[in-house]
Amino acid sequence: MADASNCDFGTLLVADRLDKVYGEGDAATHALKEMSFTFCEGEFAAIIGQSGSGKSTLLNLLGLLDTPTGGSAIYHGTDTTKISKLERATLRAQLIGFVFQFHYLLPEFSVFENVAMPAMIAGTMPADEIQARATETLSMLGIEGMGKKNANSLSGGQKQRVAIARALMNKPSIVLADEPTGNLDTVNTNLVYDLFREINKETHTAFLIVTHDRSIAERTDRILEITDGVLVQDVATRDMVG
Amino acid sequence: MTRVLSLRIAWRFLRSSPGQSALIACGIAVGIATQIFVGSIIISLQANLLNTTIGSSPQVTIQAIKESDPVRFTPKMKDLVYNDPRVKPGSVAPVRSVPALFSNGTDSSTLGLIGGELKDLDGIYKISDKTIEGKASLGNGEIMVGKEFSQKFNIHAGDSVALALQGGQSGTFTVTGVFDLGSSQFNARQAFVSGKVPQSVLGWANDQYQAIDVQLIKPYDSKAVAASWSSQLPGVSVVEWQSQNASLLAGLTAQSASSYMIQGFVLVAVALGIASTLAIAAVQKTRQIGILKAMGLADRPSGRIFLYQAAILGVAGSTLGVIFSFAILALFSLSPAPFSISMDPKFVAVSACIGVVVAMLSSIVPIRRTSKLDPIEVIQNG
């Protein structure tokens, strides 16, 4: 289990008593209960749990897509509950890459444009750099020949590769992946996880992957297990018995 | 940077639904074409009506307070009238008029003789342009008569007419031309002669006239012109056409009001059409907007996507609308119309700009919806 003191490359993220309640009164659902943990730069970890345990809620809060009812997500020392909506959007664009179960590609744009989109939104790269970075990212994912194709014309595995390339475009500090292989066959699932691991090693990008599949989670370095909104286990896979 | 991105996304969204985009642009085009067409018809109709009514008659007249007395065209008055920038150049006519009686033995008719210099009278009555027989000339012993008078008494250019004048005097005149000023009553009852004829009959001095008739560059300035001249010219009466044509003015005002109402309702209909279609488009693109926001696109540039969509549609629709209106007017001009319709470039430009502004205003609903959209709504719902 990581804490601020044993992060070799510094602390990326602190989940500080994160709490999320949906609805009010009798209809209220306590999806996440004061969850705390520290996440290091370059870590490769998985969140596991049953369906409805609060995995995606946690990921959405860490991805600054949702706001917590209590507690906060602290990135590089910045308490994200104390900054404006615009600042959260900027932080999201510069710091975080998303890969979802559904690829969420934009059908109006080509593969190349889909990949380049996060950089265009962040507005921090000049046009020629965007061009070079998107080409490099497509090549890293082995889909360099598909740049001009429409995103809708690709197979499921190819679409997910494009979605991963898009998540990596801005060289994020962390990639949050929510059931990224949920719609893929075994071959593609293995390819995607191998790819994640490779990118993690090569670029030192941190990965936090939500899955309900323990065998997949065991291929990461750390497993955070959630049951009914509570973090019941936070363990390094190398320390696991059996 | 995000402005360019918003514009790029807006353009792609429009291109991804070409049928829907074309439909909205056509809606704007029809609205703007209708507005330009209706507006141009009303403007042309009013200009025609105004021209017919006061185009060939004085718009401001300086006369003596007692109508039978002469008014002195003093140097001060000349200076004031000729140097007023609101006066149409060459449209000041000092006139004298006397009544005359024409008889051909079996039938007779009174005839008002309007005397003056031809070039001055042309400035008001455009006699030279409206001569339908013979030529325009008002030398000594010459007269020009109206079309109805000419037809009633079978008098034509080159004929001589004997007239009984005021105070038992008489005179014989040669008809040089026949005019048609568009009013049968004027054509039947008025004739033009040299200014010396009424002067000798009335026994007035060279600077004494019945009236100083004036036309203005902008006819609607007549009230202001009459008021300013009245204050500077004591002892004379200054009358203007608006106070003498109250019912015509009321009619023109009512016509303008109804035209504005029609144009206003057309624009409201266009705005509602665009607003509802853009709102549907915003719903259709909820998923994409949610994804873009998840990637960090802020509320403001997200909203701008629909503002730019509306602006693109507004520009395309208004341009198409202007082309449509030219086509409709070209078709309209093929049928025989009692007046010619012309399009005022300024009115067309203003209408097109209104089209763009209305389209942009119509994007308020989708902009607000898009700005409020939380990316989590899209992510959670798959």
Does the distance separating the beta carbons of A104 and B291 come in below 8 Å? yes
Contact between residue A35 and residue A67 where contact means Cβ atoms under 8 Å apart: no
Q: Give A120→chain B minimum CA distance, Å.
A: 7
In CATH, the number for domain A4-104+172-236 is 3.40.50.300
Range of the domain at B205: 66-234
Helix axes B246-284 and B299-334, enclosed angle (nearest 10):
130
Chain A contact for B12, CB < 8 A?
A: yes
Tokens matching residue B265: 């309702």
Q: Do B114 and B188 belong to one domain?
A: yes
Q: Looking at the 3D structure of chain B, how many domains does it have?
A: 2
**Which residues of chain A fall short of a pLDDT of 50?**
2, 4
CB contacts of B304 in chain A (<8 Å) are none
Distances in whole angstroms, Cα of residue A52 to Cα of each of A29, A102, A178, A180, A227: 11, 18, 13, 17, 9
Does the distance separating the beta carbons of B1 and A86 come in below 8 Å? no
CB contacts of A54 in chain B (<8 Å) are none
Does the distance separating the beta carbons of A65 and B294 come in below 8 Å? yes
Q: Of A62, A80, A87, A117, which to mutate for an interface test with B (greatest number of B Cβ within 10 Å)?
A: A117
Q: What is the pLDDT of residue B170?
A: 87
Domain boundaries, chain A: 4-104+172-236
Does the distance separating the beta carbons of A106 and B296 come in below 8 Å? no
Q: Does residue B343 fall inside a structural domain?
A: yes
Q: What is the pLDDT of residue B369?
A: 85
Contact between residue A95 and residue A173 where contact means Cβ atoms under 8 Å apart: yes
Q: Smallest Cα–Cα separation from B104: which of B163, B51, B57, B64?
A: B163
Chain A residues with a Cβ under 8 Å from any Cβ in chain B: 56, 60, 63, 65-66, 85-86, 89-94, 98, 100-102, 104, 106-109, 117-118, 120-123, 166
Q: Give B321→chain A minimum CA distance, Å.
A: 28
Cite the DSSP H helix spans in A169-241: 186-203, 214-217
Q: Do B218 and B138 belong to one domain?
A: yes
Residue of B nearest to A106 (CA): B288
Q: Do B341 and B196 belong to one domain?
A: no
Neighbours of A67 (CB within 10 A): 16
Q: Smallest Cα–Cα separation from A115: which of A91, A147, A92, A85?
A: A147
Q: Give B41→chain A minimum CA distance, Å.
A: 44
Does the distance separating the beta carbons of B380 and A89 come in below 8 Å? no
Residue B335: pLDDT over 70: yes
Q: What is the pLDDT of residue B1?
A: 60
Give the whole-angstrom CA distance, residue A46 versus residue A227. Answer: 14
**How confident is the model over B295-322, as a mean pLDDT?**
91
CB contacts of B300 in chain A (<8 Å) are 86
Cite the DSSP H helix spans in chain A: 55-62, 85-95, 111-122, 127-140, 156-168, 186-203, 214-217
Sheet holding A29-40, edge to edge: A29-40, A11-22, A70-75, A78-79
Element (H, E) at B132: strand B131-134
Convert B266-286 to b/e letters by CB count within 10 Å (16 or more is b). Answer: bbeebbebbbebbbebbeebe
CB contacts of B17 in chain A (<8 Å) are none
Q: Which of B203, B234, B265 finishes a domain?
A: B234
**Which residues are within 8 A (CB) of B174 and not within 5 positions of it... i.e. 6 or more apart?**
B141, B142, B143, B158, B159, B160
Q: Does residue B325 fall inside a structural domain?
A: yes
Q: What is the pLDDT of residue A4?
A: 47
Q: Does residue B59 fall inside a structural domain?
A: no
Looking at per-residue confidence, does B266 or B187 come out higher?
B187
Contact between residue A206 and residue A12 where contact means Cβ atoms under 8 Å apart: yes
Give the whole-angstrom CA distance, residue A40 versus residue A28. Answer: 33
Residue of B nearest to A178 (CA): B379
Contact between residue B29 and residue B318 where contact means Cβ atoms under 8 Å apart: yes
Give the whole-angstrom CA distance, residue B258 versus residue B33. Answer: 17
Q: What is the pLDDT of residue A116?
A: 94
**How confident is the model over B155-170, as a mean pLDDT?**
89
Q: Do B373 and B228 belong to one domain?
A: no
Distances in whole angstroms, Cα of residue B63 to Cα of each of B89, B95, B214: 20, 10, 11
Q: What is the pLDDT of residue B84?
A: 92
Tokens matching residue B115: 């005397």
Neighbours of A72 (CB within 10 A): 19
SS3 A83: coil
Q: Do B267 and B172 belong to one domain?
A: no
Q: Do B223 and B287 belong to one domain?
A: no
CB contacts of B299 in chain A (<8 Å) are 85-86, 89
Instruction: Classify residue A80 by its DSSP letter.
Output: G
CB contacts of A109 in chain B (<8 Å) are 12
Tokens matching residue B149: 């008078």
CB contacts of B376 in chain A (<8 Å) are 60, 65-66
Q: What is the pLDDT of residue A71?
A: 94
Q: Do B274 and B323 belong to one domain?
A: yes
Per-residue DSSP letters for B219-238? GGGHHHHHHHHHHHSTTEEE
Q: Do B223 and B99 belong to one domain?
A: yes
Q: Do B218 and B308 belong to one domain?
A: no
Q: What is the pLDDT of residue A241?
A: 59
Q: Which of A102, A109, A122 sits opposite B296 (nearest CB)?
A: A122
CB contacts of A94 in chain B (<8 Å) are 296
Q: Of B3, B20, B284, B295, which to mutate for an interface test with A (greatest number of A Cβ within 10 Å)?
A: B295
Q: What is the largest CA-CA distance in chain A?
A: 55
Give the whole-angstrom CA distance, residue B200 versus residue B11. Answer: 81
Query: Kindly report the CA angle at A240 between A236 and A241, in degrees rounded to 5?
Result: 170
> How many residues make up chain A in this entry?
242
Contact between residue B355 and residue B270 where contact means Cβ atoms under 8 Å apart: yes
Q: Does residue B239 fall inside a structural domain?
A: no
Distances in whole angstroms, Cα of residue B103 to Cα of each of A127, B106, B108, B157: 95, 7, 4, 18
Q: Smallest Cα–Cα separation from B309: which of B278, B283, B280?
A: B278
Average pLDDT, chain B: 88
Q: Do B185 and B275 belong to one domain?
A: no
Q: Which of A90, A94, A121 sits opposite B292 (nearest CB)?
A: A121
Q: Which of B12, B294, B297 sits opposite A98 (nearest CB)?
A: B294
Contact between residue A154 and residue A188 where contact means Cβ atoms under 8 Å apart: no
Q: Give A240→chain B minimum CA distance, Å.
A: 33
Q: Do B212 and B88 belong to one domain?
A: yes
Q: Do B298 and B336 belong to one domain?
A: yes
Distances in whole angstroms, Cα of residue B169 to Cα of each of B166, B198, B202: 6, 11, 11
Q: Which of A60, A90, A109 sits opposite B12 (nearest CB)?
A: A109
Chain A contact for B376, CB < 8 A?
A: yes
Does the distance separating the beta carbons of A118 and B295 come in below 8 Å? yes
Chain A contact for B5, CB < 8 A?
A: yes
Q: Give A100→chain B minimum CA distance, Å.
A: 8
CB contacts of A75 in chain B (<8 Å) are none
Chain A contact for B18, CB < 8 A?
A: no
Q: Which of A56, A60, A90 sits opposite B296 (nearest CB)?
A: A90
Q: Which of A85, A102, A120 sits opposite B299 (nearest CB)?
A: A85
Q: Chains A, B: CB contacts under 8 A, how many? A: 68
SS3 A73: strand
CB contacts of B295 in chain A (<8 Å) are 92-93, 98, 117-118, 121, 166
